Structure 1
Amino acid sequence: MYTWLLPAVKAILPYVGDIVNAALPVFKSRKIDETAATQEALLQKQINELQEVASLNAVHIKDLAEQLRQMVVTLEQGVIANERRYRRMSVLAWTAIALSLTAIGLWLGSN
């Protein structure tokens, strides 16, 4: 695994909430007359649609941020477990090497 990835993601995670809050629109949509043919009504309708889409996008970004946070926690737990396994295997390998060298030394000493 890339060693720079985990610290980079950890550095970004605290700011995800701020990004989501900034993405939420300030204004709420207002109901307008659907039959009005004026340019202002059309612009207001378009603005309302954009605000609804921006709100939906902000909710999706928040969901993705939560999934990212869960993924980072899971990856971090996996890294910790792999480090433990690596240490255990290293200890076993060095023990096997030491026993092998001891056996060779005893064999050479008996000859």
Structure 2
Amino acid sequence: MYSWLVPAVKAILPHVGTIIDAALPVFKKRKVDENAPTQEALLQQQINELQDVASQNAIRIKDLAEQLQQMVMTLEQGVIANERRYRRMSLLSWMAIALSLTALGLWCWGQFI
């Protein structure tokens, strides 16, 4: 499977919060209001709206990052459980091979003696 994926995601996840905090935008939503008295007031209103939308996006991205982190932890637990099963099945397979070779050896020994 993708054995490189889990370590890569684990290395990135602790820094997601820092990235989100640094990416909180300075500008937000943009909408034209023809009732604004001056061009400066219109620009200020647009800047405020852009800042509101960007802040909401940053909050949503942070929530998604937390959900992703929970999902990765769950996947990691599944990988650990599957690895245990694989090792157990591998051990049983080797034991079955050894037992069958022993039985074959005893049969050959009984046939030629």
1:50-92 C-alpha deviation (Å, 9 max, x unpaired): 1011111111110110011011101110110111011000001
Which structure 1 residue ranges, 5 or more long, are not aligned?
Answer: 28-33
Normalising by structure 1, we get a TM-score of: 0.87
Provide runs of 4+ in structure 1 moved above 2 Å: 23-27, 34-37
1:4 maps to 4
1:69 matched residue in structure 2: 69
Matched residue type, 1:72: V
How far apart, CA to CA, are the structure 2 residues paired with 1:65 and 1:20? 9
Residue equivalent to 2:85: 85
- Taking the aligned partners of 2:25 and 2:5, their CA distance within structure 1 comes to 31
| Matched residues, number | 105
CA-based RMSD of the aligned residues comes to 1.7
Listed as ranges, the matches of 1:44-63 within 5 Å are: 44-63=44-63
Report the TM-score when normalising by structure 2: 0.86
Q: Which runs of 5+ in 2 are unaligned?
A: 28-33
